[in-house]
Amino acid sequence: MQNVIHLLPDSLANQIAAGEVIQRPASVVKELLDNAVDAQSTQVQVVIKDVGKTLIQVIDNGVGMSEVDARMSLEKHATSKIKQADDLFNIQTMGFRGEALPSMVAVAQVEIITRTAETELGTRLLVEGSKVKLQEPTAASVGTSISVKNLFFNVPARRNFLKSAAIETKHIIEEFQYAALSRPDVAFNLYQNDQATYRLPATKLANRIIHLFGEAYSKQLIPCEAVADVLQIRGYIGNPAYAKKTRGEQFFFVNNRFIKSAYLNHAIKNAFDDLVPKQTFPFYVLFMDIDPKRIDINVHPTKTEIKFDDDKMVYAMLLSVVKKALSQHGGMTFDFDTNSNSDPLGLQTPAPAPFYTQPTNKSYTSLQQLDGPKVSPKEWDQLYERINLESEISTQLPALPLAAATDDASARIASPLSAAKAPAEGTRASAAMATSPISSVVAEGGGMKMQLHGRYILTSIKSGLLLIDQHAAHERILYEKYLKQLQQHAGTSQQLLFPEQIQLSVADFGLIQEYQAVLQAMGFVIEVFGKHSIIVAGYPVEATHQDPQQLVEKMLEQIKWNQSHLSIPQEENAVRALAKHAAIQPEKRLERIELDSLVDELFACKQPNHTPSGKDIWTIISLEELAKRFKM
């Protein structure tokens, strides 16, 4: 039998090994920044061109390398950071495997210029595809400059699998942020295509956070600190009121190394339990200092996963310190959900609002005065009978005998549907209703519409009760409207009397620029205004009930979430994000004409059954189902 096992050529073996360490341009940035920090640098500069495909350069003022060390650094598993097996359990540097530089030179053209303080001349190396093309003495400053050019030039398949410029830029910025947060005592600069993205002076952690993410973070930082024999925790968490839809701004560092840990994330989630809305994530930058012998960081090629010898202890201490910080800074006072036990029907009068007040129908007040424990069985029957009235029901809901009609002094913020008018017979809405899956039951029912808990629209139909989620319904309406506007380039905009200036993070500023054309087609009027700042001079008419800054920030968070979880085109992403956050929010009280208009417009949609994300918009509770609930 012929022998079939053979050794791979060094060039091919190096390319395969490089695939584990150098996955994208951001991987190069990470490894070079780790080396720069390990070199005791006080200043680090990163230069990026063409999202790293053309050039990634990291310049530091660290200790530098001698001529021999510079050449040895290109060899596989050559390192100055460990010497024996026991050193793997006492690692205090960012790098230690000796894989980074050999992996880079295997898939790129690399130039290394380095000098130590003990020598007058430095060393310059040119390497291409693991082959040294040139080594010569050169004039250089103390420290090291490594330029990685034409990444994946000899692995075109890998280059073709890189994501869009926006996504690759996002990953590069994330790696830069990890390094900058881990060492606030080191100055970091980032330049992209000859433009300064970050210029971060050496400072304290709180200032570094503000420099990276914006002045708005100065209002939300809550300090955390705990000291024990085996573990020290320090850093900052965010005010629960500022929680976001995406998980991006959550940072754990163990001995100054950025790590990812679902287990520790769960501890933070538990600490914030009931303080933030569901599916939102608080901000935190937390450092854990622990004896290196009690952790194992040699778990994953990217070194972002580690193992603790006592992870339950770390979990418990982390949970405790975060809860303590929240309680000391008033975190426990935040409440995002109404206590449903105090209002079983959801019919109580909402708290007065200071602006855009409108009177409430007095006959509606009678239901608002209901209090579960005081209602007799007879009175419940009266309420049940009124809900089940169909076409015979009057347009005004009579007051129940148990509660006298009183003047309603409650005030409500004007709804985005307040100007809407119910479509007349024969309109598109009526025609669409005829073809709707539930057109027959709706038409035959014809009952009055009312709100439940400020979230749902309830109306009687022949077969029972039709229950509609008002936010989901409006989201579907706006989604189809914005899609049509994009196709016809006919977005309508409401100009702001005083344009709104919004300061964004670097990542969000880049995202706005990427989506600017799509947003303008939907009605936004956005202009770049200075560094990482925009001016919103107008926005879609349907969203004018929203604060412009909050709308833009929520949209960006939704777009980032969609990018992470869905594979959809840019236009679809923007439309979904705008429809979701321009739609009327839960707890919004609507007038009768608004309820009618919302229902008519919903069933005029092409797909009235589900939101763009697939959530049900309405459901029917049959008379049989209701009757079962009242049987003895």
Q: Which DSSP string do the residues of 65-119 spell out, in sequence order?
A: --HHHHHHTTSTT--SS--SGGGGGS--SS--SS-HHHHHHHHSEEEEEEE-TT-
- Is 249 in contact with 227 (CB distance < 8 Å)? no
Block means of pLDDT (10 residues each) for the chain, 632 residues, are 66 60 89 91 95 95 91 73 52 61 89 94 92 92 95 86 85 93 95 91 94 86 91 93 82 91 91 84 93 76 77 92 88 38 36 36 33 44 47 35 32 37 39 43 58 86 88 92 84 85 84 87 86 86 84 88 84 91 83 88 91 91 87 65
- Is 128 in contact with 109 (CB distance < 8 Å)? yes
Spatial separation of the C-alpha atoms in residues 452 and 597, rounded to whole Å = 17
In eight-state DSSP terms, residue 542 is G
Q: What is the predicted pLDDT for the residue at 302?
A: 62
Which tokens go with 214? Answer: 């914006």
Q: How far is CA 536 from CA 412, 540, 543, in A?
A: 27, 11, 13
Q: What is the predicted pLDDT for the residue at 299?
A: 64
Spatial separation of the C-alpha atoms in residues 249 and 480, rounded to whole Å = 32
Q: Is 147 left (phi over 0), alpha (psi -120 to 50) or beta?
A: beta
Spatial separation of the C-alpha atoms in residues 159 and 23, rounded to whole Å = 10
Torsion of Cα atoms, 542 then 547 then 552 then 554, to 10°: -100
Which tokens go with 591? Answer: 């007038």
In eight-state DSSP terms, residue 120 is S
> What is the side-by-side strand order in the sheet with 257-259?
221-227, 231-238, 284-290, 250-254, 257-259
Spatial separation of the C-alpha atoms in residues 221 and 313, rounded to whole Å = 25
Q: What is the predicted pLDDT for the residue at 284?
A: 95
Long-range contacts of 395-400 (CB under 8 A, 24+ apart): 395/448, 395/592, 396/361, 396/363, 397/361, 397/363, 397/364, 397/366, 397/367, 397/448, 397/450, 398/363, 398/366, 399/362, 399/363, 399/365, 399/366, 400/366, 400/367, 400/370
Q: Is 39 left (phi over 0), alpha (psi -120 to 50) or beta?
A: alpha
What are residue 200's DSSP bridge partners?
188
- Is 491 in contact with 521 (CB distance < 8 Å)? yes
Domains of the chain plus CATH, in order, are 10-202 (3.30.565.10), 207-333 (3.30.230.10), 344-465+624-629 (no CATH), 466-623 (3.30.1370.100)
- Is 250 in contact with 272 (CB distance < 8 Å)? no
- Is 364 in contact with 405 (CB distance < 8 Å)? no
The reported pTM is 0.65
- Is 446 in contact with 438 (CB distance < 8 Å)? no
